[in-house]
Amino acid sequence: MKRNGMSPQILFVCAFTCLFFVRIAGAQKPPAANDGAKKAAPTAAEAQKFIEDAEKQLFDLSVKASRAGWVQENFITDDTEQIAAEAGEVVNTASTKYAKEAHRFDGLKLPTELGRKRLLLELAAGFPAPDDPKAQKELAQILASLDGDYGKGKWCPEGEKGKCLDVTAVEKLMAESRDPEELKRAWIGWHAIGAPMRQRYTRMVELGNAGARELGHTDVGALWRSNYDMPPDEFAKEEDRLWEQLKPLYLSLHAYVRGQLRKKYGSALVPESGPIPAHLLGNIWSQEWNNVYALMDSPKPPQSYDLTTILQERKTDARGMVKYGENFFVSLGFAPLPKTFWERSLFTKPADRDVVCHASAWDVDSKEDLRIKMCIQTREEDFRTIHHELGHNFYQRAYMTQPPLFQGSANDGFHEAVGDTIALSVTPEYLKKIELIDAVPPATGDIDYLLQQALEKVAFLPFGLLVDKWRWEVFAGQVKPEAYTKEWWELRRKYQGIAPPVERTEADFDPGAKYHVPGNVPYARYFLARILQFQFHRALCRQAGIHGPLHRCSIYGNKAAGDSLNKMLSLGQSKPWPEALEVLTGDKQMDATALADYFAPLKVWLDEQNKANHYPVGW
């Protein structure tokens, strides 16, 4: 019914793209739910009828929207954009209307399950349109066009006639080039795709806020933060609490990486104690730094291996890579993916048309129609991302038997964490078991392995946190359009300790160059997922009876771990997330200690390195 785990909460369910707004086809109007009962004091029986009708209606509409969204993202044209906008408008209008009407039943004491459905229905509109058909149409057009523009985004280098790089090609260049001038050009080139989005983004914020206010929220950011079974302000504090626990680890990693990049690129480019230039971290958004691993002089163990080279040498194609991922889930006791998954998914970038290459997982009809859409390259990063995407699909299937309003993840961080949890079990021991490598590196290689992991997992944390800090400020009106880019870079500097390679102005709109901003996908979920996946991994390893270091643990083939995971997944969002978390881990709180424990030996090593090399910490 939607992508990435979106539940009937329509939009939000998706693990990622969710906000797919509720789109429904054509100009059909949602039914006037319960209009006749407006004046009388509502009864529990009315509430039940209203909620169940709304659930059914939204379910049908979101399947239609999902199909339209799939076609639009797989064949970006003016027509498919229009079709998706219309479908989006119908769902968004319907879910907003139901959300509003559901408040009539607020004071009523309802049975627990029905009460939870009422709450989810009230939050179902992830980006509500105001109650005005003109505004609804305008918002739907903006949403579809921003998403499409990102998908069509290209950098066409000056002087190289006819050559244009799409996001996949830009990412490859950023990962592989070590020429700082070329990296800078590509960085500037890609970020130029944001500027034309600025006006529409500004208008989108106005329209969404008007819709959110009609639903009783102060702004869209407050609505988004209401999805965590706690008051919105508490959620922001909860994120800060988790970040404070992990900041020392990030600072140690940042200091080490800056020192190493300075050695590579020289003191003119990389400051001793200031922020790291954003184009030198191997990623166009500087969000994960695994691509600069080769520049780090951590001790390489005797049997070190490079999964990218291995996969390329074996000529493993995209389908073959996905098969490895499926096989892992099957080893845990999950049923294989349906035949239609292999027929309908998009695994490689088509040569003849624009598609949204940003990876996503879809559950088109909430029955068996699971798919992924991804422009897979044969490399380790994509191997991991495949596990991420399949995590969405297996979650979607696990909760499919729940009523539509409960077909979603416990909170959106859970959806993002499942596949990553499995990818944490892609250890050298596992790779040896499935015969991708011949020998497991000895324990002396652990620091090297942990550093690779940290460049992906730890480096991401502040980025995961700041994207929505920026959006929350924008939605709340604390940051006005004339300071959009300035504030974006202030947060990037403050949390990540990075700086743009060239001066940025308000003629730019750099947030627009990151998929989730024009795609309107909330981002806090990825921050939570980084923390939750280590919590899940720790719990599953223990349940599998594996007690060694967490980074050496793989639950591959362990049915007890699979059962335990499935128990939590199959709850969907029928219970508040602390209860779902408890089912798997025994904890009711998100807890950064699992991540900190995993990396504890690396933290000691980084601090020693920073001291020995006189690398300053902070910026």
**Least Cβ distance, residue 392 to Zn ion (angstroms):** 6
d(Cα 514, Cα 530) in Å, to the nearest integer? 19
**Least Cβ distance, residue 434 to ligand X8Z (angstroms):** 23
Between residues 184 and 457, which has the closer beta carbon with respect to Zn ion? 457
d(Cα 550, Cα 541) in Å, to the nearest integer? 8
CA 225 to chain centre: 16
Concerning whether 101 is annotated as a catalytic residue, the answer is no
Question: Of 450, 431, 445, which Cα lies nearest the Cα of 308?
Answer: 431
Contact residue for Zn ion among 9, 12, 16, 456 (CB under 5 A): 16
Between residues 16 and 324, which has the closer beta carbon with respect to Zn ion? 16
Q: Which residues contact 419 (CB under 8 A, 6 or more apart)?
A: 387, 388, 389, 390, 391, 392, 394
Using an 8 Å Cβ cutoff, are 470 and 511 in contact?
A: yes
Question: With binding defined as CB under 6 A, does residue 357 bind ligand X8Z?
Answer: no
CA 249 to chain centre: 22
Question: With binding defined as CB under 6 A, does residue 418 bind ligand X8Z?
Answer: no
d(Cα 254, Cα 619) in Å, to the nearest integer? 9
Between residues 396 and 543, which has the closer beta carbon with respect to Zn ion? 396
As given in the structure block, the two tokens for residue 154 are: 């290209």
**Least Cβ distance, residue 373 to ligand X8Z (angstroms):** 10
Size of the site for Zn ion (CB under 5 A): 3
d(Cα 62, Cα 415) in Å, to the nearest integer? 19
Contact residue for ligand X8Z among 59, 70, 526, 619 (CB under 6 A): 526
- Residues 309-348: x where in contact with ligand X8Z by CB under 6 A, - otherwise, as a string: ----------------------------------------
Using an 8 Å Cβ cutoff, are 20 and 11 in contact?
A: yes
Q: Which of residues 359-378 bind Zn ion (CB under 5 A)?
A: none
Concerning whether 217 is annotated as a catalytic residue, the answer is no
**Least Cβ distance, residue 314 to ligand X8Z (angstroms):** 24
Strands 2-3 and 360-363: antiparallel
The terminus-to-terminus CA distance of the chain in angstroms comes to 45
Between residues 126 and 277, which has the closer beta carbon with respect to Zn ion? 126
d(Cα 53, Cα 61) in Å, to the nearest integer? 12
Between residues 116 and 525, which has the closer beta carbon with respect to ligand X8Z? 525
Residue 270: DSSP 8-state: S
Residue nearest to ligand X8Z (CB): 16
Concerning whether 392 is annotated as a catalytic residue, the answer is yes
d(Cα 224, Cα 227) in Å, to the nearest integer? 6
Concerning whether 192 is annotated as a catalytic residue, the answer is no
Question: With binding defined as CB under 5 A, does residue 15 bind Zn ion?
Answer: yes
Contact residue for ligand X8Z among 1, 15, 236, 466 (CB under 6 A): 15
Question: With binding defined as CB under 6 A, does residue 385 bind ligand X8Z?
Answer: yes
Q: Which of residues 392-431 bind Zn ion (CB under 5 A)?
A: 416
Between residues 356 and 447, which has the closer beta carbon with respect to ligand X8Z? 356
As a whole number of Å, the CA-based R_g of the chain is 24
Q: Which residues bind Zn ion (CB under 5 A)?
A: 15-16, 416
Q: Which residues are catalytically annotated?
A: 358-359, 388-389, 392, 416, 516, 526
- Residues contributing to the site for ligand X8Z (CB under 6 A): 4, 15-16, 287, 359-360, 385, 388, 526
